[in-house]
């Protein structure tokens, strides 16, 4: 058995890892600055050592190999045409997408490792945080391994005309984001919630008396006409999606760390002391939000995002100090920061 295993490892090494390493080395990939790859072509390094460094580098950067020799499977809210799909395509356009009917199923697929990672909305610039995702990060052994920020541009879609509409369907978040538009144009129309915006579009494609609030991509996917575009109440409408996984990635130099804190005993200056640890470490907080702990009225958790990776010395020191003054701390992710995409479709 050991003999067979060694042969398999050697075959994988020479047939997959070395060719892939060389193909990476000939590109302009930003990963070339890391690990042993910087030794490629160095006259002071012999070929055997260089090959070993290639092997170590690729092993440490598993996601590169994963995307090259195996198609990544990403779990997300379906059906096709959701904003979650748009976020997933920005993450990895070559991945295989596995669609689920609701967000809880996406989260469960990550927990059971049915998928390699999951994409879930966590906050919207108009309507705030998504409770299901926030609660899952506290309750389950999953973490944030990345994030994608997507501009949300809602459209009114239908097979009929404006005067034919009897029912408007969409996800509860989309309906809330278009509240003024709906009230101004369809004050007495029946409103019905669906599991996702694309689900609303799919249902609407079957009845001319229905209209859906969904994306332009959903209109194309389900053969609907766009009766009105950019109908969200405010132009600056963005949703932050998090990539959920099982292992925190290494630092990239442009990272964000997310934690949950329960202060425990209610005392004067508790929050002041907590924030003071971040100030002492010169740590920039990008978000702080309280959320009911579900352990009693008036008892709250604090969700905090900060610039930097948990392996950075100032963050490591701050977290160690914070553990001494609060009830508990949970690190729910250290991951590459997203750049807001302002492109409108």
In this prediction, residues 253-264 reach a mean pLDDT of 94
Q: Which of 169, 122, 157 is nearest to 289 (CA)?
A: 122
Compute the distance between CA of residue 134 and CA of residue 287 in angstroms, rounded to an integer.
Answer: 13
Compute the distance between CA of residue 185 and CA of residue 295 in angstroms, rounded to an integer.
Answer: 43
Task: Confirm if 287 and 223 have CB atoms less than 8 A apart.
Answer: no
For residue 340, the model assigns a pLDDT of 63
For residue 342, the model assigns a pLDDT of 54
- pLDDT tens by residue, 181-236: 999 988 888 999 999 999 999 999 988 889 999 999 999 999 999 999 999 999 99
Compute the distance between CA of residue 302 and CA of residue 260 in angstroms, rounded to an integer.
Answer: 6
pLDDT at 150 over 70: yes
Q: Which of 255, 315, 310, 253 is nearest to 281 (CA)?
A: 315
More confident residue, 289 or 9: 289
Share of the chain above pLDDT 90, in %: 65
Residues of the chain with CATH 3.30.70.260: 251-337
Contacts with 259 (C-beta within 8 Å, 6 or more apart), sequence order:
303, 304, 306, 319, 329, 330, 331, 332
pLDDT at 262 over 50: yes
In this prediction, residues 235-264 reach a mean pLDDT of 94
pLDDT at 89 over 70: yes
In this prediction, residues 262-286 reach a mean pLDDT of 89
Task: Confirm if 289 and 302 have CB atoms less than 8 A apart.
Answer: yes
pLDDT at 54 over 60: no
More confident residue, 46 or 56: 46
Share of the chain above pLDDT 70, in %: 78
Catalytically active residues are: 239, 241
- pLDDT tens by residue, 300-321: 999 999 999 999 999 999 999 9
In this prediction, residues 129-155 reach a mean pLDDT of 95
Task: Confirm if 237 and 329 have CB atoms less than 8 A apart.
Answer: no
pLDDT at 3 over 70: no
Neighbours of 278 (CB within 10 A): 20
For residue 85, the model assigns a pLDDT of 94
pLDDT at 61 over 70: no
Q: CB-side exposure of 141: number of CA atoms within 13 Å?
A: 4
Q: Which of 259, 255, 292 is nearest to 278 (CA)?
A: 259
For residue 33, the model assigns a pLDDT of 31
Task: Confirm if 231 and 300 have CB atoms less than 8 A apart.
Answer: no
Please report which confidence band the pLDDT of residue 84 belongs to, taking 50, 70 and 90 as the band edges.
Answer: very high
For residue 76, the model assigns a pLDDT of 95
SS3 of residue 25 by DSSP: helix
| CATH number of 155-231, picked from 3.30.2320.50, 3.40.50.720, 3.10.310.30, 3.40.190.10 | 3.40.190.10
Residues of the chain with CATH 3.40.190.10: 71-152+232-247, 155-231
Mean pLDDT of all residues belonging to the chain: 82
**H helix intervals, the chain:** 2-12, 18-25, 47-60, 62-69, 83-91, 103-111, 131-139, 172-177, 179-185, 197-204, 216-222, 270-280, 313-323
Q: 251-337: which CATH architecture?
A: 2-Layer Sandwich (3.30)
Homologous superfamily of the 71-152+232-247 domain (CATH): Periplasmic binding protein-like II (3.40.190.10)
Please report which confidence band the pLDDT of residue 343 belongs to, taking 50, 70 and 90 as the band edges.
Answer: low
In this prediction, residues 165-191 reach a mean pLDDT of 92
- pLDDT tens by residue, 27-46: 333 332 333 333 344 445 55
More confident residue, 203 or 59: 203
More confident residue, 56 or 255: 255
Compute the distance between CA of residue 104 and CA of residue 52 in angstroms, rounded to an integer.
Answer: 43
Burial 285-321 (b: 16+ CB within 10 A, else e): eeeeeeeebeeeeeebbbbbbbebbbebeebeebbeb
SS3 of residue 125 by DSSP: coil
SS3 of residue 317 by DSSP: helix
For residue 268, the model assigns a pLDDT of 80
Please report which confidence band the pLDDT of residue 60 belongs to, taking 50, 70 and 90 as the band edges.
Answer: very low
For residue 245, the model assigns a pLDDT of 95
Compute the distance between CA of residue 86 and CA of residue 182 in angstroms, rounded to an integer.
Answer: 25
For residue 29, the model assigns a pLDDT of 33
């Amino acid at each position: 058995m050991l003999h067979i295993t060694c042969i398999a490892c050697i075959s994988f090494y020479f047939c997959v890892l070395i060719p892939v390493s060389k193909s990476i080395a000939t590109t302009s990939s930003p990963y070339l600055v890391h690990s042993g790859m910087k030794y490629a072509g160095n006259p002071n390094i012999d070929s055997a050592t260089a090959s070993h460094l290639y092997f170590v580098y690729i092993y440490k950067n598993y996601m590169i190999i994963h995307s090259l020799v195996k198609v990544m499977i990403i779990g997300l809210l379906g059906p096709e045409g959701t904003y979650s799909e748009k976020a997933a395509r920005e993450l990895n356009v070559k991945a295989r997408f596995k669609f689920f009917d609701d967000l809880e199923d996406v989260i469960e697929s990550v927990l059971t490792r049915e998928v390699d990672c999951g994409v879930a909305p966590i906050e919207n610039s108009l309507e705030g945080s998504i409770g299901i995702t926030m609660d899952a990060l506290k309750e389950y052994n999953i973490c944030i391994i990345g994030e994608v920020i997507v501009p949300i541009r809602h459209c009114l879609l239908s097979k009929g005309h404006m005067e034919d509409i009897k029912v408007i369907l969409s996800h509860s978040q989309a309906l809330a984001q278009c509240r003024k538009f709906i009230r101004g144009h369809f004050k007495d129309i029946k409103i019905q919630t669906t599991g996702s915006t694309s689900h609303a579009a799919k249902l609407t494609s079957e009845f001319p008396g229905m209209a859906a609030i969904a994306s332009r991509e959903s209109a194309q996917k389900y053969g609907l006409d766009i009766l009105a575009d950019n109908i969200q109440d405010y132009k600056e409408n963005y949703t932050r999606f998090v990539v959920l996984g099982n292992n925190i990635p290494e630092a990239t130099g442009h990272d964000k760390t997310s934690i949950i804190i329960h202060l425990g005993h209610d005392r004067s200056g508790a929050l002041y002391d907590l924030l003071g640890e971040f100030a002492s470490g010169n740590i920039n907080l990008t978000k702080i939000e309280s959320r009911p702990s579900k352990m009693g009225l008036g008892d709250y958790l604090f969700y905090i995002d900060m610039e930097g990776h948990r392996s950075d010395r100032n963050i490591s020191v701050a977290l160690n100090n914070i553990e001494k003054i609060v009830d508990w701390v949970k690190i729910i992710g250290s991951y590459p920061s997203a750049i807001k995409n302002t492109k409108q479709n």
